[in-house]
Structure 1
Amino acid sequence: MADPERLSRIEEVDTPYQTDVDSTDGTTLQSSQDATGDENGQSTPATGRSKARHAILVASMFMTLFLPALDQTIVSTALPNIMVSLGAATSSNSGYTWVGSAYALAQAVVMPFFGQASEVFGRKWTFLAAISIFMAGSCLCGASQDVAMLIASRAVQGMGAGGITGLVIILIGDLVGTRRRGKYQGFIGATWAVASALGPVLSGVLADHVSWRWCFLINLPICLACLVVNLLFLNISRPTKSFRQSAKSLDYLGIFCVSLATVMLLLSFEWASIGISWGSPRIVLCLIISVCALATFIFAETRAARPVISLRFFTHPTRIGAYASAFFHSIGYMGLNYYLPIYFQAIKGESAAQSGVSMLPIVLMFGIVSTGAGYLITATKRYQEIIWGSSVLATVGCGLLIMLNETTPTAVVVVLLLVAGIGVAPNFNSLLIPIHASLDDTFDNSAIAMSASAYSFIRTIGLSLGISISGLVCFDGLRDLDAGTTSGLSISQLIRSLDSMDGADKARTVRVFDAAMRHVFIQVTVMMGIGMLASFLIRRHVLGEKVRSDHKIVMVARDQDRDGQKERSQVDERGCAGRT
Structure 2
Amino acid sequence: MSTKNESDSTLDIREADSPAPLESATSSVRPLGSEPAIQLSRSHFVLVFIGLALAVLLAAIDQVIVATAIAVIGNEFQNFQMIPWIGTSYLLTSAAVTPVYGKLSDIFGRKPTIIVAIVIFLIGSGISGGAMDMNVLIAGRAIAGIGGGGLMSLVMIVIADMTPLATRGRYQGIIGSVFGFASVIGPFVGGAFTDGLTWRWCFWINFPVGVVALVIIVVFLKAPSGSGTLVERIRRIDTVGFLLMSATTISLLLPIQNGGIKWDWNAPQTIALFVTSGVCLVLFVVYERSYAREPMIPTAVFANRSTILLVICSFLIGSSIFTVISYVPLYFQVVNGATAMQAGISMFPLVIPLTFVIVASGILISYIRRYRFILWIGFALSAIGAGLVSLLDENSNAAQRIGFLLVLGFGGGMLMQTKTIAMQNSVMPQHIGIGTSLVTFGQVMGSALGIAIGGSVLNNKVVSSLASAHIPSDVLDLITQTPIALRMVLQSNPSLLMEAMHAYVQGLQSAFILSIPCAILGLLLSLAVVEWPQQKLADAQSKQGEKV
Q: What's the TM-score once normalised by structure 2's chain length?
A: 0.89
Per the alignment, residue 11 of structure 1 pairs with none
Which ranges of 4 or more aligned residues in structure 1 deviate by more than 6 Å?
5-8
- The yes-or-no answer on 1:292 pairing with 2:279 is yes
CA distance 1:357–1:491, change in 2 (3 Å): farther
1:529 is displaced (CA, Å) by 1.6
What one-letter code is carried by the residue in structure 1 that aligns with 2:457?
V
Q: Secondary structure at the match of 1:238?
A: coil
Question: Per the alignment, do residues 402 and 174 of structure 1 end up closer, same or farther by CA in structure 2, a change over 3 Å counting?
Answer: same
* Of 487, 511, 519, the match for 1:520: 511
- CA deviation profile, 1:330-389 (whole Å, cap 9, x unmatched): 111221111000111112322222211111010111110111111111111111111111
**456-465 or 407-416, which deviates more:** 456-465
Q: Give the partner amino acid of 1:64.
A: A
Q: Give the CA RMSD over aligned residues.
A: 2.1
Cα distance in 2 for residues equivalent to 1:421 and 1:3: 52
Aligned to 2:341: 353
Residue identity in the other structure for 1:256: L
Match of 2:53 among 46, 62, 70: 62
Q: How many residues align?
A: 509
Secondary structure in structure 1 of the residue aligned to 2:228? coil
Q: State whether structure 2 residue 495 is matched by structure 1 residue 484.
A: no
1:12-51 → structure 2 map (5 Å cutoff): 22-28=33-39, 50-51=41-42
1:448 maps to which of 414, 432, 438 = 432
Measured after TM superposition, the shift of residue 24 of structure 1 is: 3.1
Distance 2:271 2:151 in 1: 33
Q: Could you say if the C-alpha distance between residues 318 and 425 of structure 1 is closer, same or farther in structure 2, counting changes exceeding 3 Å?
A: same
Q: How far apart, CA to CA, are the structure 2 residues paired with 1:131 and 1:474?
A: 35
User: 1:246 and 1:267, CA in 2 relative to 1: closer, same or farther beyond 3 A?
Assistant: same
TM-score (norm 1): 0.84
Aligned pairs (5 A) from 1:102-141: 102-141=89-128
Mapped partners of 1:369, 1:437: distance in 2: 20
**CA shift for structure 1 position 314:** 3.3
Aligned positions of 1:163-242 closer than 5 A: 163-242=150-229
Q: Which amino acid in structure 2 is aligned with residue 24 of structure 1?
A: E
For the structure 1 residues 96 and 490, does the alpha-carbon distance in structure 2 shift closer, same or farther, using more than 3 Å as the test? Answer: farther
Q: Tell me how far 1:315 sits from its aligned partner.
A: 4.3
- Residue 446 of structure 1 aligns to which amino acid in structure 2? Q
Match of 2:140 among 153, 156, 160: 153
CA contact (8 A) 2:48 2:217 kept: yes
Counterpart CA distance in 1 for 2:111 and 2:364 is 30
Q: 1:434 aligns with which of 422, 425, 428?
A: 422
SS of structure 1 residue aligned to 2:538: coil
Structure 2 distance, partners of 1:433, 1:323, is 12
- Which residue, 479, 492, 497 being the options, matches 2:486? 497
Native 8 Å contact 1:77 1:492 kept in 2: no
Deviation at 1:5, TM superposition (A): 8.7
Q: Which residue of 2 aligns with 1:85?
A: 76
Offset at residue 487 of structure 1 (A): 4.1
Provide closer, same or farther for how the CA distance between residues 524 and 3 of structure 1 changes in structure 2, counting only shifts above 3 A: farther
The percent identity for this pair of structures is 29
Does structure 2 conserve the Cα–Cα contact (< 8 Å) formed by 1:173 and 1:547?
Answer: no
CA radius of gyration, larger in: 1
Alignment pair present for 1:381 and 2:369? yes
CA deviation vs aligned residue, 1:111-137 (integer Å, no higher than 9, x gap)? 223221111111111111111001111
- For 1:170 and 1:483, the matched residues in 2 are separated by 53
Correspondence for 1:475? 459
Secondary structure of 1:299's counterpart equals: helix
Q: 1:545 aligns with which of 511, 518, 538?
A: 538
Show the 5 A alignment for 1:385-404. Answer: 385-404=373-392
Which residue of 278, 283, 295 corresponds with 1:307?
295
Q: CA deviation at 1:4?
A: 4.4
Partner of 1:367: 355
3-state DSSP of counterpart to 1:78 = helix
Alignment-derived partner of residue 330 in structure 2: 342
Query: Does residue 244 of structure 2 align to residue 257 of structure 1?
Result: yes
Offset at 1:104? 0.9
- Deviation, 1:223, is 0.7
Contact conserved, 2:248 with 2:281, CA < 8 A, in 1?
yes
Q: Is the 8 A contact 2:101 2:154 kept in 1?
A: yes
